């Protein structure tokens, strides 16, 4: 786990000194600064990456609360609570399919069968390798947000391709199963990077 960047804010200089000593002796904490003036602390927060503010202001819904005089053991208990909140949750596994409402049916599309997706006014057309084309009343940008970015690339305001289906890349187009799809300049760089792997 990466270290937590901390600042100490207290209107009592002795309290600041004590809390700073606690931070410095605790592994995994980095002291970014200490302040006796809240306004100065707020200015610092606007320009620095701070994970933890240790202060004498009570905020029961947001943080633990340390009563003075602060004992080091109690300080460590509060830090452990913060660390528990910072444990990254594992990313959900990428699904191998997605569902799309086509007419009155909810149709499953395996990523491996999708060739490209095109915008057609208020619809999208999903072009598949063996099942042909499916229309869905959905906007291309909404569907794009649901697709795994490592498998699909927007190449034009009207087209998304599955990278694994691209057979050939030309200067301003790609060939997918014999279909030529235009590539806009604004998307060309990302497409090239994804094709290179």
Domain boundary among 55, 85, 115: 85
Residue 154 shares a structural domain with residue 112: yes
pLDDT per residue rounded down to tens, the chain (197 residues): 678 899 999 888 999 999 999 999 998 899 999 998 888 888 888 888 888 899 866 554 457 777 788 889 988 998 888 888 776 666 667 789 999 999 999 999 999 999 999 999 889 999 999 999 999 999 998 999 999 989 999 999 999 999 999 999 998 999 999 999 999 998 998 999 999 87
Residue 64 shares a structural domain with residue 137: no
Domain boundary among 17, 52, 85: 85
Residue 62 shares a structural domain with residue 105: no
What distance in Å separates the CA atoms of residue 5 and residue 82, rounded to the nearest whole number? 12
Q: Is residue 75 a part of any domain in this protein?
A: yes
Total tally of structural domains belonging to the chain:
2
pTM of the model: 0.54
Q: Is residue 118 a part of any domain in this protein?
A: yes
Residue 155 shares a structural domain with residue 126: yes
In eight-state DSSP terms, residue 145 is H
Q: Residues 138, 124: contact at Cβ < 8 Å?
A: yes
Domain boundary among 29, 64, 85: 85
Q: Is residue 67 a part of any domain in this protein?
A: yes
Residue 79: domain span: 4-85
What distance in Å separates the CA atoms of residue 178 and residue 183, rounded to the nearest whole number? 15
Q: What three-state secondary structure class fits 55?
A: strand
Q: Is residue 134 a part of any domain in this protein?
A: yes
């Amino acid at each position: 786990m990466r270290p937590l960047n901390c600042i100490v804010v207290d209107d009592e200089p002795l309290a600041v000194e004590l809390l700073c000593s606690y931070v410095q002796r605790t592994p995994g904490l980095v002291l970014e600064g200490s302040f006796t003036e809240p306004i100065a602390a707020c200015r610092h927060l606007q320009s620095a990456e701070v994970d933890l503010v240790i202060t004498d202001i009570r905020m029961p819904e947001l943080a633990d609360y340390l009563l003075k005089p602060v004992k080091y053991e109690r300080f460590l208990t509060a830090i452990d609570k913060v660390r528990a909140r910072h444990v990254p949750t594992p990313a959900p596994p990428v699904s191998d399919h997605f569902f799309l409402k086509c007419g009155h049916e909810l149709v499953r599309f395996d990523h491996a069968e999708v060739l490209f997706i095109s915008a057609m006014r208020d619809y999208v057309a999903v072009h598949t390798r063996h099942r042909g084309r499916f229309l869905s009343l959905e906007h291309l940008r909404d569907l794009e947000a649901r697709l795994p970015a490592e498998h699909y690339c927007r190449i034009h305001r009207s087209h998304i391709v599955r990278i694994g289906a691209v057979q050939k890349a030309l200067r301003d187009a790609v060939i997918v199963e014999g279909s030529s799809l235009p590539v806009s300049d604004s998307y060309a760089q990302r497409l090239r990077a994804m094709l290179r792997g």
